[in-house]
Structure 1
Amino acid sequence: MGSYLQVDSRRLDGFEGLHQAVHGTHVDVMQLGRGKLRGTLSHVGIGDFSLSIGSFNIGMRTRRIASDEKLIIGMLLRAEDRVAHWSFDMQPSDVLVIPPLLEHDGIFHGASAYAAMRLDLDEVAEVFAGQPSLSDPEYWRSKNHFRADPALGPAAALRLARIVLQLTEHQTALTEPAAEFWRRSIAECMAANVICSLPPDDSGWLPAARRLIGKVEDYLDEAGMRPVHISEICAALHVSRRTLHRAFQEVFGMGPVTFLRHKRLCAIHSILRESRPGTTTVSTVAMQQGFYELGRFSHYYHTMFGEYPSQTLGIPAHELVASLRVAQNA
């Protein structure tokens, strides 16, 4: 193990920043809540060991397709609203296990903070030395949810946050013994909430609704970037609009029409962020995603992201004023 501490901390100014929510992986992200996303993301590396800790102020949907053999062990540090991973309904201090090569699906209904460490399965024997069950790689090959003991869990979560803050503020080289100490301290916080966890809820959370949502999202993935109408989904999956609405309300807290609109708005936001003025126009991108009333689209966009689409594209202020006048008169 190397003797150097590596810390990368940044402030987030859009949901796209959460694509690297866990160091070394790519996460597909969709903004669910309304407003300008603000948050922080830090990656702490101690030799080959890495920990990511992030926070954000509005609801998010995260999906990760694992492409490597890494194990991820995460802890929910804070949540102002409901949080669900797969079919597990989570509370602050709970621990989540994401085995290698397994797709991950998480829904944060409000402001949240999390921590996640990423490691090889063959490293668990060393990381969790002294804990017979936890040091067995087979223990971590299945997805799992450990419900934190309310008397003990918050203390472990608080200690983990303090360790990361301390390492972030003192970015200095570490000796081999010091690096080993801090790595074990981080792992111990996770292990404490696993060992002292309450019995897991094996029944899961809203399994039928989640299965239907999964079919919808598989259909949307096959559709690519083209806009998809709600009636098309109902016809393709042979479900009623009422059934679909109930499933989306149970899982996301919003109907399918609102969800699809948010998804299209997020696609537009990402396209505009990656474009430069003169290479495309807001109206062109909006039309390609199924918005034809530009005034209403501008209102939806501003409500969702806290800025107008022209601002995301980076149009100069004097041109922005002119474009807003056109939109208001549309």
Structure 2
Amino acid sequence: METAKEVGASALWAGFNVQMETSANVFREAASLATQIQGETIPTDKSDTLSMETTLRQPVGPILSIVPWNGTAVLAARAIAYPLVCGNTVVFKGSEFSPATHALITQCVQEAGLPAGVLNYLNSSPDRSPEIADALISAKEIRRINFTGSTRVGSIIAQKAAQHLKRCLLELGGKSPLIVLDDADIDAAVKAAVFGSFLFQGQICMETSTERLVVDEKIADEFVAQFAEKAKRLSAGDPCVTGDCIIGPMETVSPNSRERINGLFKDAIDKEPQLPAAAWPNVRSCRPRSWITSNPTCRSTMETRKPSGPITVVDSLQRETEGNSHCTTRSTP
């Protein structure tokens, strides 16, 4: 319920975070690795048979883990569990948009029996978040930084960490394509594409998500027609009000989401006036529209930038000649 209130997560996405091979199993898997962290004995060229060389793995010290709001439970679990199992302490900076959820996760882990000071949680208002992150990165006690979030912010964190010669583990946004060739099962491909495009309002960046569909031109028309029809049937609303729905509100986190998403579409139309498009509105006018667009050029922002919203690009390709270039289009920060 907290994720619905804080970030507009549907019951489907909230359940996926907590149960389906995600958060709970992250902790289980991490626990199973505790006995697998081993050093090595390395062969030596010395003739003395009593000589040997060994490596020993040791904790590095306090880890700063910064996680976003779009995978509140699973990303927090990952950022906490693995540093702990390797013997490190964790300073967990939760998202300013989901403080209650991240505080609850921290409480659960601490109540499991962690000694005081092993897991330390802090949060802040959105306007102070950059200032606090900067102070934490600069703190001499912090030895490593683990960040999941946008490419833009990740670049800033990497630069600040480099000033202090601190290593970073960064998982940043991208523009992941789903490729559908002419011999694919179209029904199955459409089902996967709709799930990946619109789950949690298209605001996730995991193995289930895609912001760009690359479809063989031989089946592109049929695919787009089925995709649009299936998308129209998705329920939308506020999970705190309407209960079960697939697409929830984006304004919970970002009040200007509607303008931002529609701005991406307008940018594509302005740069390619002949762009064919099919649009379907959400069931409530206060929600942003979900757009399905076909064959935009790489000049448009939506083609190269992660939209973080219910907006999907469909590119048709000639199987042998265009597939590689479509799949390697680089996401911009």
Going by fraction, where is strand more abundant, 1 or 2? 1
Going by fraction, where is helix more abundant, 1 or 2? 1
Q: If you compute each CA radius of gyration, which structure gives the higher value, 1 or 2?
A: 2
Q: Shorter-normalised TM-score: what interval? A: under 0.3
TM-score by length of 1: 0.25
TM-score by length of 2: 0.25
